[in-house]
Amino acid sequence: MNELLITCAMSDWFSAQFLLDFFYNNASYLFVFLFMVIESSFLPFPSEVVVPPAAYIAVTRGDLNVILVVLVATAGAVVGALINYFLAVWLGRPIVYAFANSRLGHACLIDEAKVEKAEKYFDAHGALSTFIGRLIPAVRQLISIPAGLARMNIGVFVIFTALGAGVWNCVLAALGYWLGKTVPYSQLFESVEKYNHYFTIGGFCLLLVCILFIVWQAMKGKSKKAADGGER
């Protein structure tokens, strides 16, 4: 069976199906919050087994409210993202700068000036990067790390993390709500897995578009500098 494993370090039985069943039988706003904190922090954890079943329960059993599910899930995502952010500030940043100032760093063509330049770039474009990153699979858990390394303004970080996570959670909640109207619980996992595959493809397409846009902007900037240099 094509299952989404939470992480290789966990037991084989600790699959997405197990988590979905557990959440369905123990649904509460507290679990929504805690699971989303985990999902957004340093542990790989699929939000697809939290928000869709919570919305599904809101439709089929009425134990939860869809709007509150989205709000609580988004709050959990922000808290989890802040954990990664501050870990990067307190632990990651000193390591990165130590590497940049080392012989190995210089051998890899990395120095403190380049790190500072990267930080300035993220400081200038970090808001959009944070928002879009929350919509891309695998990236959404990691986008908080460069934000912390660059010491991105914490208020801006929280706002755009909440916006990105809110949009993603709305998509997942809408899926769960629709499935609650159309499929029995026995088909919930299969349906969530099916549509999550589509979401993953869409997310990576968005990532590709972002990369192409960045490359285009970089080439555009170089062309402009070359033109200005020629005029002089």
Q: Which pLDDT tens digit goes with each residue over 73-95?
A: 999 999 999 998 998 888 777 77
Global pTM value = 0.73
Token digits of residue 75: 């709050």
Residue 134 has what pLDDT? 81
CA distance 31 to 23: 8
At 62, give phi and psi (nearest 5°).
75, 15
Residue 121's pLDDT band, with cuts at 50, 70 and 90, is low
Domain definitions of the chain by residue range? 16-231
Output the CA angle 196-202-206, nearest 5 degrees: 140
pLDDT at 70 over 90: yes
* Residues 120 and 126 sit within 8 Å (Cβ to Cβ): no
CA distance 34 to 26: 13
* Residues 106 and 63 sit within 8 Å (Cβ to Cβ): no
